[in-house]
């Protein structure tokens, strides 16, 4: 990797900083100069979720000067089992705002740069170029390959962590001599073959373990001390509490970091990962559940029909905004089936259409003859029908 700040003079530490970081400063491997390097460092965390939470927290505590955060998501109750940077009061809030508040409370000297966007081929190079190191805590294959390729093209080290159920992986990619993610996995698995954490589940403390390993690697790279995980894949098996490591080699024929690269600019990573745009038929029907648009629902309401709207969000969300549905939070639906009229068409609705799809599938399984999902949920309603319905 390029030595950080090799040309710039390192920033001085204030007396307050010297005392705040005294346990670092007395380490021979850190010292005043190391702490100055941390202060000068700019690190980008892609994602402020399971891995990003502990990663960003520890980097902020360690005295990193600038921390960039990329996320476009809002905090959901189901995140809190592992995404420790967010609190119960943050549910419904932007993850970036929630994370910034916690990080600056911990360390007011930290400069947080918020990138409220989904990292894409169009913006990745522009966002990454201002940072020294990238820490990848994303949750999908297209973004993994995008981050990898962008890091290789820009010559930025990519501190990698990934988790599934009870198992994690960590490594450092895209250092000058070391392998990249594509050397390890030249191709992604076809969609659907590898379940996501949402489908497969994940032990809440596991991203803590792996994210802290990533934070450790970031700090070592900045200090230029120790032996990084470059060229090694660390495997964490939390169920048996076994740590193993495997050798990683730079693939001389790697399409992005090899001797004769064929990938010299960012590509379409959705397509690379076999994710095709949804066809019209898929839009109209998902897992056997018809998808109703908000326009169609509005048309039917205007026509005097009285569809039974089942709102499966949480009560606090209902208080913020609602469109006249009957509130039964998703977890209570199985216990309150008798309250839902079987003879009517049920339009299941949530915030953006994900929870309601699962409940619609559940109701169909329970023998409800006519169940549809409101595609896009209340957010789509606010966007397309009634902007006075509050978005959150």
Q: Does 47 bind other proteins (CB under 8 A)?
A: yes
Does residue 73 interact with other proteins by CB under 8 A?
Answer: yes
Q: Is 248 a residue that touches other proteins (CB under 8 A)?
A: yes
Residues of this chain, 217-236, that bind other proteins according to CB under 8 A: 233, 235
Segment near other proteins (CB under 8 A); pick from 60-68, 192-200, 294-302, 317-325: 192-200
Does 122 participate in binding other proteins (rule CB under 8 A)?
Answer: no
Q: Which of 35, 138, 148, 216 binds other proteins (CB under 8 A)?
A: 138
Q: Where are the beta strands (DSSP E) in the chain?
A: 42-46, 66-70, 111-115, 133-136, 158-164, 167-173, 232-237, 242-247, 285-286, 289-292, 308-311, 326-327, 346-349, 371-374
Does residue 136 bind other proteins (CB under 8 A)? yes
Among 87, 93, 120, 166, binds other proteins (CB under 8 A): 166
- Torsion 130-134-135-136 (CA) sign: positive
Tell me whether residue 277 is exposed, middle or buried, using C-beta atoms within 10 angstroms of its C-beta: 0 to 12, 13 to 18, 19 or more. Answer: exposed
**197 is an active site residue:** yes
Between 42 and 144, CB nearer to other proteins: 144
Determine the interface stretch with other proteins among 68-76, 85-93, 276-284, 298-306 (rule: CB under 8 A). 68-76
Annotated catalytic residue 151: no
Q: Contact 222/41 with Cβ under 8 angstroms?
A: yes
188 binds other proteins (CB under 8 A): yes
In the list 193, 241, 259, 335, the residue contacting other proteins (rule: CB under 8 A) is 193
Residue 294: name the closest of 384, 186, 180 by CA.
384
Task: Tell me which long-range contacts 188-194 makes (C-beta under 8 A, separation of at least 24).
Answer: 188/141, 188/142, 188/144, 188/145, 188/272, 188/273, 188/274, 189/141, 190/274, 191/273, 191/274, 191/275, 194/141, 194/164
Of 57-65, 121-129, 140-148, 261-269, which segment contacts other proteins by CB under 8 A? 140-148
Q: Number of C-alpha atoms within 13 angstroms, CB side, residue 327?
A: 13
User: Which residues of the chain form contacts with other proteins (CB under 8 A)?
Assistant: 47-52, 71, 73, 76, 78-79, 136-141, 144, 161-167, 169, 184-189, 193-198, 200, 202, 207, 233, 235, 240, 244-249, 354
Residues with a catalytic annotation lie at: 197, 350
């Amino acid at each position: 990797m390029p030595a950080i700040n090799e040309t710039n003079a390192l920033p001085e530490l204030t007396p307050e900083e010297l005392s705040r970081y005294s346990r670092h400063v007395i380490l021979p491997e850190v010292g005043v100069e190391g702490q100055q390097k941390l202060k000068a460092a700019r690190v980008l965390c892609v994602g402020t979720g399971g891995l990003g939470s502990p990663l960003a927290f520890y980097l902020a505590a360690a005295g990193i000067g600038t921390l960039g955060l990329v996320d476009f998501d809002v905090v959901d109750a189901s995140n809190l089992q592992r995404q420790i940077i967010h609190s119960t009061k943050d549910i419904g809030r932007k993850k970036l705002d929630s994370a910034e508040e916690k990080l600056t409370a911990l360390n007011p000297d930290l400069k947080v740069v918020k990138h409220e966007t989904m990292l894409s081929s169009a913006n990745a190079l522009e966002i990454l170029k201002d940072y020294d190191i990238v820490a990848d805590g994303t949750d999908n294959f297209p973004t993994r390959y995008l981050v990898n390729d962008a890091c290789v093209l820009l010559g930025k080290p990519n501190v990698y962590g990934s988790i599934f159920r009870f198992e994690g992986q960590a490594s450092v990619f895209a250092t000058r001599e070391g392998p990249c993610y594509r050397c390890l996995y030249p191709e992604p698995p076809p969609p659907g073959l590898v379940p996501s954490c949402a489908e497969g589940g994940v032990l809440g403390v596991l991203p803590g373990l792996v994210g802290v390993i990533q934070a450790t690697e970031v700090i070592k790279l900045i200090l230029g001390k120790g032996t990084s995980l470059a060229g090694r894949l660390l495997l964490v098996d939390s169920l048996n509490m076994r740590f193993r490591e495997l050798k990683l080699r730079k693939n001389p024929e790697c399409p992005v970091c090899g001797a004769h690269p064929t990938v010299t600019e960012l590509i379409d990573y959705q397509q690379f990962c076999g994710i095709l745009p949804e066809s019209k038929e898929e839009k109209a029907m998902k897992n056997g559940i018809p998808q109703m648009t908000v326009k169609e629902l509005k048309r039917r309401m205007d026509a005097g029909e009285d569809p039974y709207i089942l709102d499966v969000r949480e009560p606090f969300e209902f208080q913020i905004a609602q469109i006249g549905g009957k509130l039964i939070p998703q977890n209570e639906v199985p216990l309150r089936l008798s309250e839902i009229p079987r003879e009517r068409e049920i339009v299941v609705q949530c915030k953006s259409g994900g929870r309601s799809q699962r409940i619609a599938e559940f109701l169909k399984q329970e023998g409800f003859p006519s169940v549809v999902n409101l595609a896009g949920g209340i957010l789509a309603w606010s966007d397309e029908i009634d902007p006075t319905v509050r978005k959150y």
